[in-house]
Amino acid sequence: MNTLSSSKILVVPLLVALFASFAARSQPAFPPRQINVVVPMAGGTADVLGRLVAPKLAQALSTTVIVDSRPGVGGNIATDHVAKGPQDGSLLLVGVNAPLVVNNTLFKNLPYDPVRDFSPVTMGVSTSQYLVVHPSLPVRSVEDFVAYVKANPGLPYASVGTGGASHLTMEMFRASAGLQMTHVPYRGAGPALTDLVAGNVKAAFLVPGNALPYVPSGRLRLIASSGRQRVAATPDVPTMIESGFKDFEAIAWIGFLVRSGTSPDVVRRYHAELTRILQMPDVKAKLEEMQFEVAPSTPQAFGAFMKEEIARWGAVVKATGVTAD
């Protein structure tokens, strides 16, 4: 009887060890041989952030890291690519407002669920936007802009993609001011800026990193900013709130996510490395030069923030009647 009991005592820990070994082997190795940092917009600040982070991540993880730009359909193409990709951490999404918190309301048949299909890693950066106009417009204030558009209905404005912060911020402004404007969506900030500077479209809401390089030469004019506080680099440019639009606030942000089902250990490793990289002096200096606030967070806090943003921007989409068409 004692011999049998002793055998049971020996077998149980052995089975536990075997199961643990099997579970460990069933998890794909991390880091993989190559990591793709997937960017949903062509050019612009999401692309810049991805390219800042990629070489630092490659060094930290001792593996190959490339930037994979997949623009189109308001960021949905890149986001869906990650949502349906492997669960081994080989795809790291540079996530932006539109495909993660707007498009599930804006599009009738979104091919992914932004909450169910992703594991948040960390918030990266956030920033206000500028209301920017082509210098051919005879406007220098929000009041001037409203008067001009009312006298010239149908003014074409650019966005960096359907459903993005630049699109919905302008729609929120347009609805608040009672303006008739024509939305011209682009596949990223690069082509939107090209046409705006050329005068093919006349206005846009753009983040500072995209707009400011064109201001000193007079190729673009700043009218107002969309945060609660003025942008530090342009203290003479008033906010939309100061310009008469009470509680008008629209912040653009960028974060990092992996596909849901990715091992928690992989998420933790990514979180540790990315938050460290974002705080590196050279990376932080470059981002602050673009007027971004470096704002790393826990995965849990980023996930909760996304849910709040989904509710907020969903309400804006419904109130303004914006569609994906």
156-202 pLDDT per residue, tens: 999 998 888 999 999 999 999 999 999 999 988 899 999 999 999 99
Is the residue at 232 inside a domain?
no
SS3 for 134?
A: coil
Going by C-alpha positions, the residue among 228, 246, 225, 226 that lies closest to residue 236 is 225
Q: Supply the pLDDT for residue 303.
A: 97
Residues 122 and 134 grouped into a single domain: no
Tokens of 60: 């930290």
Q: What integer is the mean pLDDT of 74-82? A: 95
Residue with tokens 């309301």: 105
Measuring CA to CA, how many Å separate 9 from each of 5, 12, 15? 6, 6, 11
CB atoms within 10 A of CB 258: 25
- In this structure, are residues 186 and 161 in contact, taking their beta carbons and an 8 Å threshold? yes
Residues 63 and 149 grouped into a single domain: no
Is the residue at 7 inside a domain?
no
**CA–CA dist 25, 106 (Å, integer):** 42
Last residue of a domain, one of 208, 225, 242: 225
Residues 40 and 96 grouped into a single domain: yes
268-306 pLDDT per residue, tens: 999 999 999 999 999 999 999 999 999 999 999 999 999
Measuring CA to CA, how many Å separate 63 from each of 34, 89, 132? 6, 12, 41
CATH label of the domain that carries residue 198: 3.40.190.10
Collect all residues with Cβ–Cβ distance below 8 Å to 199 and sequence separation of at least 6. Answer: 134, 136
Q: What integer is the mean pLDDT of 97-125? A: 94
Domain enclosing residue 82, as ranges: 34-126+251-320
SS3 for 257?
A: strand
Residues 68 and 108 grouped into a single domain: yes
- In this structure, are residues 205 and 186 in contact, taking their beta carbons and an 8 Å threshold? no
More confident residue, 260 or 321: 260
**CA–CA dist 175, 209 (Å, integer):** 26
Is the residue at 101 inside a domain?
yes
Is the residue at 45 inside a domain?
yes
**pTM attached to this predicted model:** 0.82
20-47 pLDDT per residue, tens: 444 444 556 899 999 999 999 877 889 9
